[in-house]
Every structure is written in C-alpha cells, then in structure tokens.
Amino acid sequence: MAFPLIPRRVVDSIYDLRPRDLWDAGVRLVLADLDNTLTPYEQALPSPALRTWKEELDRVGIPLYVVSNSRKSRRCPDFCSALGVPCVRHAGKPSRKGFARALAETGIPAEHAIMVGDQIFTDIWGANRAGVTSVLVRPLAWGKNPLRRVRYAAEAPFRLLGKRM
C-alpha cells in the first residue's frame, strides 16, 4: 500500500467520475462521503445533478453507498433515503469499520470499490487502510467552520501528491 494519506486519484468533483468508465475499470461499488462530497453541508435534499449521476451509476450496475461520519441524528439517513441509497453513519473514519460494514452489506470486495471523499484525514486515510481505492474531490464549500479551513490547509501537500485523473 502507498503512503496512507495520499489519494490514489484526484478529481474536481464526483461528476468527473463517469459511471461507464468506472465500470470499464472494474469498479463495482462507489462508496462516498456525504457532506462536502455529494452535497454541501447545508443542503437537505439531493440536487438534480446528483440524482442524475446516481441514476447513471444504477444504469451501469454500480451501487452508491454513503459512508459518513455525520453526528447529526437524521442528516445522513434522511438525505440517503431521499436519494435511494444505503448509508453507514457514525462510520468512525479513518477506522476501517464503516468501510467493512458497507462492503459486507453489498458483498463487493474492497478491490472492486472506490471511496470518494473530500478529506484526507478521514475519507482517504480510511479508504486506504480498508484496501479501497481512494478518490479525492475538491470540497464543495468551505463552510462556516474556521477549523475546516485549517484542516484543508494541512491536507494540501497530500492533495498535491495524488494522481490526477
């Protein structure tokens, strides 16, 4: 395994991940962070663009599964229900447990999954530890939390080392 904080791939957004290309590359499961990856923190419902991307994944046979550290009691389940996807909340990323649960529930081995997320120290580190190909996206929004800016700044060197797709 490469250094665990370096993403295997870097893209601007989830929409750069074309479902047919993923299928052709052997991907059979897309795991994704929720906040700042699939949707901004404040958005309660999936956008039309996200719904379309999820439908494209469905058409090629790739399930989408959310793996989130969200502590808000209804945020993740309500959003995922509206999108029609399963989720693991309180995943404890970078722990392997949330990834293991999603993989076990789908029956898809780690080598055929990717994890898409916006944070190095949770999404990327956790995916790499779990043997899942890590894909880093640009955060959708900086948000109101000033500590998030500090965290993103600390992640900058690792972002630069990831392979651009």
Task: Fill in the DSSP letter of residue 72.
Answer: S
Q: Taking 80 as the threshold, does the pLDDT of residue 39 lie above it?
A: yes
For residue range 60-91, list pLDDT tens digits in order: 999 999 999 988 778 999 999 999 999 999 99
Looking at the domain assignment, is residue 3 inside a domain?
A: no
CATH number, position 15: 3.40.50.1000
| CA distance linking residue 84 with residue 129, whole number of Å | 28
Looking at the domain assignment, is residue 2 inside a domain?
A: no
Name the token pair of 105: 């529930």
Non-local CB neighbours of 21 within 8 Å, separated by 6+ positions: none
| CA distance linking residue 161 with residue 165, whole number of Å | 12
User: What's the whole-model pTM score?
Assistant: 0.90
For residue range 100-112, list pLDDT tens digits in order: 999 999 999 999 9
For residue range 126-145, list pLDDT tens digits in order: 999 999 999 999 988 766 66
The domain total for the chain is: 1
Which stretches of 26-164 are assigned E, i.e. beta strand? 29-32, 64-67, 87-88, 113-117, 133-137
Looking at the domain assignment, is residue 130 inside a domain?
A: yes
Looking at the domain assignment, is residue 1 inside a domain?
A: no
Instruction: Please give the residue range of the domain that contains residue 143.
Output: 9-161
